[in-house]
Structure 1
Amino acid sequence: MRKTSLILACLAVYAASPALADDDCFVPMENWQPRDAVAGLAKEKGWTVRRIKIDDGCYEIDGRDAEGRQIEVTIHPATLDVIEFEYEDEDDDHDDDKRKGRDDD
């Protein structure tokens, strides 16, 4: 019985922990940095911006890094901290098209 109670208590703490929340940003709009600040951050880092959008309450940059690799970066709207940084594999889309019978070559 004690073991079950301990497991349930651990699960409750785990589920309630804000550090373990997903990548959504919950920031009132009045606390957001302007879009120009996001573009400036990207420029400082040597990124070429194709698009800045809002996704799950966070800024998201689609573009290329200084080496020309396609990137997707999630930015906290108030602090401009990088929350998530992903390299996009350009070949994935092409391979998906081939699997679906849509070879554009």
Structure 2
Amino acid sequence: MKTRHLLAALALAPAFAFAHGDIKCDVPKAEWQPQTALQAKLEKDGWKKVRKVKVENGCYEVYGFDENNKRAEKFYNPKTFELVNEVKKP
């Protein structure tokens, strides 16, 4: 049973890696707002917890628990904080 779960997880791993490669923000670094400002906005919008904000393909990638207290991984435009994409967890 464990082997089957492991194989399923390994089969899905490349799909998630490929999905991240498709997400890209083309904003000059001089126009970016601070990561802390995005974190404050998300918390004001009801996120229960922002665990991590990092840069991935020119976007801010945010990990945490959203306004529905669901685990979230979302990508935001670093200039406008517009939601670019989110990773759906299986």
TM-score (norm 2): 0.67
Superposed CA deviations along residues 66-94 of structure 1, whole A, max 9, x for unmatched, are 232100110001111011133434xxxxx
Name the structure 1 match of 2:53.
Answer: 52
Name the structure 2 match of 1:102.
Answer: none
Q: Distance in 2 between matches of 1:44 and 1:88?
A: 24
Structural mapping, 1:19-98, within 5 Å:
22-47=22-47, 48-89=49-90
Q: Which runs of 5+ in 1 are unaligned?
A: 1-21, 90-105
| Larger Rg computed on CA atoms | 1
Which residue type is aligned with residue 40 of structure 2? G
Q: Distance in 1 between matches of 2:51 and 2:89?
A: 13
CA contact (8 A) 1:61 1:74 kept: yes
Percent of matched pairs sharing the same residue: 32
Corresponding residue pairs, total:
68
3-state SS of 1:54 partner: strand
Q: Which aligned runs of 4 or more in structure 1 are off by greater than 2 angstroms? A: 85-89
TM-score (norm 1): 0.58
* Aligned-residue CA RMSD (Å): 1.4
Q: Which runs of 5+ in 2 are unaligned?
A: 1-21
Higher relative contact order (CA 8 A, sep 6+): 2
